[in-house]
Amino acid sequence: MRVGMGYDVHKLVEERELILGGVNIPHTLGLLGHSDADVLLHAIMDALLGAAALGDIGKHFPDTDEKYKGISSLKLLEHVGKLIEQEGYVIENIDATVIAQKPKLRPYIEEMEENIAKTLHIEKEQINVKATTEERLGFTGREEGIAAQAICSLNSIYDGSYAVADTGAGCSGCTGCSAGRSPE
């Protein structure tokens, strides 16, 4: 098993949309950044890339590249998911926390989890998103910005916990299905 952690922060400004977990949240301020500045997805991507020893989002999506200007972080997350898969890893779980004084995020968390799961082709039960305030302390408490932290675990498909058939005969020995077994 491999574990990765991610952290991101963006400044709150006027005339920007507030997008967290791929959800456009009504608010008077939005996050400033080269992409859509979705701090939650950025922290998750860094956790995934870190667990797979693939660097960070700045390496893969530099803010000096115009093709990423204003891009949806869901598209970036999809690309990271493909990189993880190409390296032979499967995502076991993701746990993330958004730190924001306002707005209240509870009504949007389920949709965030659904977006993340759908984009990464995993089950919603493998995602946990939480939100907290810092009791008006620090830059998040003063509503100057929003931060997010994430941790994830990956397993290699080569670790032996997954049966991979290399012939047309299918797998054997598993009691979960009838694949590869001859009819009785």
Q: Which residues are annotated as a binding site for a divalent metal cation?
A: 8, 10, 42
Q: Give 118's contacts (C-beta < 8 A, 6+ positions apart).
A: none
C-beta separation of 31 from 11 below 8 A: yes
Residue ranges at the known binding site: 8-10, 34-35, 42, 56-58, 61-65, 132-135, 139, 142
Sign of CA dihedral 113, 114, 120, 125: positive
49: left (phi over 0), alpha (psi -120 to 50) or beta: alpha
* Partners of residue 145 on adjacent β-strands: 11
User: What amino acid occupies position 107?
Assistant: P
CA 145/CA 28 separation, integer angstroms: 13
- 153's enclosing H/E stretch is strand 145-156
C-beta separation of 15 from 117 below 8 A: no
* Partners of residue 19 on adjacent β-strands: 24
